[in-house]
Amino acid sequence: MPPLFVADFHTHHACPAHPALPPRHAAPELAERWRGLARRIADLEGLLADTGRHGIDLRVLSAPPALVTPHGERTRPDDLRRLNDHLAEAVASAPDRLRGLATVDAFAGEPAADEAVRAVRDLGLSGLVVDCATDGLLLGAKAARPTLVVAAELGVPVFAHPISPVAMTTAFAGLGRFGTSLARGTINAAALLSLLVDGVLADLPGLHVVFPMLGVAGLSLAAATDGGEVLTSAAPASQRAHVYLDTMGFAPAAIRFATDLLGADHVLVGGDWPIGARATSRVRVESALALAGLDETDTRLVAGGNALRLLDG
């Protein structure tokens, strides 16, 4: 058998002119290490060196709007263009090792859709990364529909990245880093459910949306209902919605749950580099997928085959 191809779909990179910002009201332990994380997110050479050191074949780079935009502000169109121009240059520097997801403010309506088209068609980026929510709106909102329609038409994936909602982040502050993650995971789960409840998945059968494992509660709640069956591998092929989860955290039981429910063809390796507590490495990926009980075929799909299929259309 050929060596396992490993693609990390959840890797962060932003140009130095737009430094990565810590999550709003982040737990103290995360805030303390953020300066170093921001440097790593801007360091392409370091990222490539880390990729080689850990035996990762492909990194999928992204900078969601909330990662690079001061709290309470919207990412300006000119900044989005600069971010995406830089990302395209970064990917072009190592095309066999890197792909890029264009930064798009999905809640900006038609202008956001226009930037998505430019980034994919003109710059050659492989998909989009968006905030899963903003200003009281979830991803299923009408404001985000133009971006999602364009993604479906272009045949590129949308990575719905978590944000830090103020009320929940504050309420869960006593839990430390768990509280930060819980708040982000809760809003991410709500965004997933909004795509189902607001009819986006039904209206756009060609839409492929990736959520980090933080949003798994949304999948669990949806799958417990008759209407949510369309998200699962049990749905007829003609009705199946294309929602994916990444392996963020690399917990074998969580990976097993995701593959059992969604099917191994809808789960991707993703480690939240360099923020994730567990580094994405070939050894960790192989170990987690083996402990999850995946066979050879499913292991190859999750490790990298699914990512390649999504990115290559």
Each residue's pLDDT tens digit, 84-93: 999 999 999 9
Contact (CB, 8 A) for 65 and 21:
no
Is 190 in contact with 217 (CB distance < 8 Å)? no
Predicted confidence at residue 313, as pLDDT, reads 76
Residue 4 one-letter amino acid: L
Closest CA to 162 of 194, 131, 135: 131
64: left (phi over 0), alpha (psi -120 to 50) or beta: beta
- Is 166 part of any domain? yes
| pLDDT band per the 50, 70, 90 thresholds, residue 82 | very high
Q: Note the residue count of the chain.
A: 313
Q: What is the mean pLDDT of residues 272-282?
A: 93
- Taking only the tens place, the pLDDT of each residue in 172-216 is 999 988 999 999 999 999 999 999 999 999 999 999 999 999 999
Q: Which residues contact 16 (CB under 8 A, 6 or more apart)?
A: 42
**Domain membership flag for residue 256:** yes
Q: What's the predicted TM-score (pTM) here? A: 0.96
DSSP H or E segment with residue 110? helix 110-117
* Residue in this structure with the two tokens 């790593």, named with its chain if needed: 40
Q: Which residue has the higher pLDDT, 58 or 24?
A: 58
In a domain, 289, yes or no: yes
Q: Could you tell me if residue 2 is inside a domain?
A: no
Residue 23 has pLDDT above 90, yes or no: no
Q: What is the DSSP letter of 83?
A: H
Q: How many domains does the chain have?
A: 1
Pairing label, strands 137-138, 133-134? antiparallel
How remote is the C-alpha of 129 from its chain's centroid?
7
DSSP 94: S
The pLDDT assigned to 143 comes to 97
Asked if 303 contacts 270 with a C-beta cutoff of 8 angstroms, the reply is no
Tell me how far apart the 2 most distant CA atoms of the chain are, in Å: 51
Distance between CA 246 and CA 267 in Å, rounded?
6
The answer to whether residue 140 sits within a structural domain is: yes
Comparing 18-32, 56-70, 250-264, which segment has the lowest mean pLDDT? 18-32
Which residues constitute the domain of residue 101? 7-311
Burial class (CB in 10 A: 0-12, 13-18, 19+), 242: buried
From 180, 155, 178, select the one nearest 170 (Cα to Cα).
180
CA–CA separation, 215 and 204 (whole Å): 21
Assigned domain for 1 exists: no
Which pLDDT belongs to residue 29? 80
Q: Are 38 and 272 in contact (CB under 8 A)?
A: no
For the chain, give the percent of residues with pLDDT over 70: 100
CATH number, position 235: 3.20.20.140
Report yes or no: 14 and 67 within 8 Å, Cβ to Cβ. Answer: yes
Q: 131 by DSSP, 3-state: which?
A: strand
